[in-house]
Chains A and B, each alone.
Chain A
Amino acid sequence: MFPYSEASWSVVDGAMFMGWGTALPGITTLIAAAICVFVLVVGQSSEAKKSSKF
Chain B
Amino acid sequence: MESQIAELTAQVAALQSSAGVTNTGFAEVFYYLSIPLMIIIHAGFLAYEMGASRAKNVLSSGTKNLLAFAFMIPTFYFFGWWVYWGFPTGLTFSEGPNGISGAAYANAIAWGWGESAQYMGPNVADQASGVFFGAFALFAATTASIMSGSVIERIQTVGFVILAVILGSFAWVVAAAWGWHADGWLVTQFGVHDFGAAGLVHAVAGFFALGVLINLGPRIGKFNADGTANHIAGHNLPLTVIGLMFIIVGFWGFLMACVILPGEAWSWYGHMPSTIYGTPITFSALAFNILMAIAGGIIGAWVMTKDPFWMMSGALAGIISTASGLDLYYPALTFIIAFSAGVILKYCATWLERRGIDDAVGAVTVHGTIGVYGVVLLGIFGSGFPALGGDAGVPTITLYGQIVGAIVFVLLGFVPGYIASYILNMFGMLRVPAGAEEAGMDTVKVPAQGYPEGIAQSAPPAE
Contacts and interface: CB of A to CB of B under 8 A. Distances in A.
A and B assemble together: yes
A50 B339 CA distance: 24
A28 B381 CA distance: 12
A24 to B, nearest CB: 7
B332 interface: yes
A18 B386 contact: no
Contacts of B396: 2, 7
Given A1-B383, A2-B384, A36-B299, A24 B390 contact: no
Interface residues of B, number: 32
B328 A18 contact: yes
Nearest to A26: B332
Contacts of B278: 9
A25 B394 contact: no
Contacts of A35: 299, 335-336, 339
Interface in B374-410: 381-386, 389-394, 396
A50 to B, nearest CB: 9
A25 B390 contact: no
B328 A16 contact: yes
Interface in A14-35: 16-20, 24-25, 28-29, 31-32, 35
B328 A9 contact: no
Nearest to A1: B384
Given A16-B280, A18-B382, A31 B390 contact: no
Contacts of A43: 302-303
Given A1-B383, A12-B280, A16-B280, A24 B392 contact: no
A12 B302 CA distance: 39
A12 B330 CA distance: 16
B110 to A, nearest CB: 29
A17 to B, nearest CB: 4
Contacts of B321: none
B332 A29 contact: yes
Q: Which of B279, B296, B336 has the most CB of A within 10 A?
A: B336
B329 interface: yes
Contact of A10 (B296, B303, B390): B390
Contacts of A10: 390-392
Given A2-B386, A12-B280, A42 B303 contact: yes
A46 B43 CA distance: 35
Interface in B196-219: none
B330 A8 contact: no
A24 B299 CA distance: 22
B339 to A, nearest CB: 6
A35 B339 CA distance: 9
A42 B339 CA distance: 15
B384 A31 contact: no
A25 B333 CA distance: 8
Ranked nearest first, the 4 interchain pairs of A and B with the lowest CB-CB distance are A28-B332, A8-B392, A29-B332, A2-B384
